[in-house]
Amino acid sequence: MQQPATSGTPVEVEAYRLPQPLSEPVTHFSRDGQYAPRHHWQGARLDSTGFNFVASMDFSAKPAAGSIGVAQEPELPDVAVLDNCLRLITVHAALDNGGAVLHSAGLERNGRAYLFCGRSGVGKTTLCHKAAPMGCQVLSDDLNLVLPSAQGFAAHAVPFTGEYGRTLNHLGSGDHYPLAALVLLEQGEELSLESVPPAVAVSRLYVTSPFANEQAHQAEALMAVLDNMVDRVPVVKMTSSREAAAEDIFNVLESYLND
């Protein structure tokens, strides 16, 4: 299979069948109660092992190349296999192109994207449920790809979603929207917004950059990307209750950004 990278350079991944199923049970691939394949970096080479699959990627190659081996052919498109591998590839390709993948709810409103970033359980999926009926398009309620553009940064369509999913029909990599704001989402009693010092913004966004923030050799590149992002895109902290209406959230947010 061939996954186009944002610069136009392909990422080539070969799929093959393992000679026999792996002997490890699925319970060996768990972290914090969730399925989590093991990842091991050796320089620019990434080796991953999950339940009945192994994968390797060499990001030093031009084009980047790798392989995915599965015990049975029908397992290849399984979300636990292909989705996990593509997430890692996308994160690395994003860094190579000056961008990042952020754990966030991505909402499109009036042709612009807003990313609401935060930990699991802070209300990202809930916000998507509230915003969609008022006309917002949901890019993803889990992971969103942000890449530099002539105007600043843009949120690009990717196939990674959480519980809510998405409402956009992504037909290709051309689906992207100017990034209007990065919103650091927190729970509270009242709806409020406040500015965030650049250093704090970078630190908070670093935490919401999965996979890349776990690798020491990618830390410098990720910090540089986030520094640039914070310099070019408004970052605000929003405190909101789960009962707050999406219309109120966007009215307060857009009023704040337009001041």
Domain ranges, ordered by start, for the chain: 2-96, 100-258
pLDDT tens digits, residue range 79-136? 778 887 888 888 888 998 999 999 999 999 999 999 999 888 888 889 999 999 998 9
Is 100-258 assigned to CATH 3.90.228.20? Answer: yes
pLDDT the model gives residue 242: 82
Spatial CA neighbour of 236 closest among 192, 189, 206: 192
> Looking at 69-73, 168-172, 199-203, which range is the least confident one?
168-172
User: Which amino acid belongs to residue 253?
Assistant: L
pLDDT the model gives residue 3: 40
pLDDT tens digits, residue range 206-254? 999 988 887 777 889 999 999 999 999 999 999 998 889 999 999 999 9
Sign of CA dihedral 123, 129, 134, 135: positive
Is the pLDDT reported for residue 9 higher than 60? no
pLDDT the model gives residue 4: 36
pLDDT the model gives residue 170: 52
Burial classification of residue 67, based on how many CB atoms lie within 10 Å of its CB (0-12 exposed, 13-18 middle, 19 or more buried): middle
Structure tokens at 196: 């965030």
Sign of CA dihedral 224, 229, 232, 234: negative
Comparing 246 with 62, the larger pLDDT belongs to 246
Dihedral angle, C-alpha 255, 258, 201, 214, nearest 10 °: 90
pLDDT the model gives residue 6: 42
Per-residue confidence at 30, pLDDT binned at 50, 70, 90?
confident
Spatial CA neighbour of 61 closest among 92, 15, 101, 82: 92
pLDDT the model gives residue 194: 94
pLDDT tens digits, residue range 141-195? 889 999 999 989 999 978 787 777 666 655 444 478 999 999 999 988 889 999 9
Whether this model's pTM surpasses 0.95:
no
Is the pLDDT reported for residue 31 higher than 80? no
